[in-house]
Amino acid sequence: MSKLSAVRPAYWIAGVLLAASVVVPLLVSTYAKDEPRLWGFPFFYWYQLLWVFISAITVSISYWLVIGVEKKRRAAEGLGAVKEDDR
């Protein structure tokens, strides 16, 4: 079995979520416009601010996915619960 096939789906999902949170805001063509306006703010400003919140959500989801897999892995290996010091 290759190392790539040993990676759990949760890690792939977390990686895709984190990559999307970084790459999409860097695509200038998605936000390089003035319209539509939201409460008088040009699209550029509120779109970028929206991605701050979306990124926070995707990072949280990724964190919980990876922590869940790690808890299961540690339990299977008899290592006990994940401690605050181990993170």
- Reading the chain (87 residues) residue by residue, the pLDDT tens digits are 455 555 678 888 898 999 999 998 888 888 777 788 888 888 888 888 899 999 999 999 999 988 888 787 777 777 766 665 555
Q: What is the pTM of this model?
A: 0.71
Is residue 56 within 8 Å of 62, Cβ to Cβ? no
Token readout for 29 is 């063509």
Token readout for 36 is 């539509």
Is residue 70 within 8 Å of 14, Cβ to Cβ? no
Which has the closest alpha carbon to 47: 33, 62, 61? 33
Residue 62 CA to residue 16 CA, distance in Å, equals: 9
> Helix 9-23 crosses helix 43-76 at what angle (to 10 degrees)?
160
